[in-house]
Amino acid sequence: MKHQVAVDPESVITGTITVSVNRSIGAWIRRTGSSGTRWIRLGPSLHWSSTGDILPVRAGPSLDTRNIFAGGLSVHDTQEQVVLVDAEDREIGVGAKDHVHRCGSLHRAFSIFVFDGRGNLLLQRRANSKYHSAGLWSNTCCGHPRPGESTRTAPHRRLREEMGFDCDLVDIFSFIYRAELENGIVEHEYDHVFLGEYDGTPSVDPMEVAEWKFVPMSTLIPDIGARPDDYTYWLKAILRSSAKNVGRRLKTRAA
């Protein structure tokens, strides 16, 4: 028995299944089972098949594919666009985030480091449903400016979306890095690093953030050295090159 299913609000299917996205966008489907986890690209003409499972496929009326879960199955929307740049951060075009993260094109990004008044860094652990670096500890928040969105405005938007708060942010430096991650993902970013201060309690989006904590730098740096695989590549890259700079700028800003 074979079923073809557009991702509709309440569908339950058994037997041999094929799941497709009934939109003109692509998507990534994450399947976790006894054989491990794998990601497969979906699109209007691309399908993913499995056998023997009962998979309730659920989505809201707007079909926000970032929030679709079906047991061990999740679907990630690839419609988001990012800004392509040259080595001087000059905009040269736009591209689908999915495609850009597969081909390794240089694109604009930001990383936010928020400290409390005592100098502890707010870390987040990325949700297990994230399509790369899932479950790893990282800096407070990261993201990409949208086409037409300024690099100074985008971090505030993303901080509110992921962590449920906003604060003053200072752009302290930028750098370029390239990293080949799991699932064929290549992060090649012109990354703007922002610094902020916040003493409240985050209200995180559980689809993005599994948990959070404030950690003193004197504890974080040794722990990264002892357990590097628990942390995202970009967090380690930024701290290797700039831990003293981040701390110095924080003290200057607080003075």
Of the residues 162, 187, 189, 208, only one is catalytic, namely 189
Residue 136 sits at the vertex; the CA angle it makes with 81 and 195, to the nearest 5 degrees, is: 65
Give the residue among 108, 26, 140, 27 at the shortest CA–CA distance from 73.
Answer: 27
Size of the chain, expressed as the number of residues it contains: 255
* CA atoms of 171 and 115, how far apart (whole Å): 14
- A 10 A CB-CB count for 119 gives 15
Q: Which of 141, 142, 162, 208 is catalytic?
A: 142
In this structure, are strands 141-143 and 81-85 parallel, antiparallel, or unpaired?
A: unpaired
pTM of the model: 0.68
201-222 tens-digit pLDDT: 999 998 889 999 999 999 999 9
Say if residue 31 is in the same domain as residue 95: no
Give the pLDDT confidence of 30-66 residue by residue, as tens digits: 444 555 544 444 443 333 333 333 233 333 333 333 3
Mind listing the pLDDT tens digit for each residue in 68-126?
Answer: 333 333 344 446 899 999 999 999 999 988 889 889 999 999 999 999 999 999 999 99
Residues 150 and 221 both lie in one domain: yes
Residue pair 139/231 in contact by the 8 Å Cβ criterion: no
Last residue of one domain, picked from the residues 20, 54, 77: 77
CB atoms within 10 A of CB 100: 24
- Within 8 A by CB and 6+ apart from 255, the residues are none
Q: Are residues 67 and 86 in the same domain?
A: no
Q: In the annotation, is 197 catalytic? A: no
Are 90 and 48 part of one and the same domain? no
**CATH classification of the domain holding 154:** 3.90.79.10
Cα 6 to Cα 95: distance, rounded to the nearest angstrom = 26
Respond yes or no: is residue 161 known to be catalytic.
no
64 and 85 part of one domain: no
Domain that holds residue 140: 81-254
Domain ends where: 77, 102, 126? 77
Residues 130 and 8 in one domain: no
CB 63 within 8 A of CB 9: no
Regarding whether 143 and 69 lie in a shared domain, the answer is no
Single residue among 54, 77, 100 that ends a domain in this structure: 77
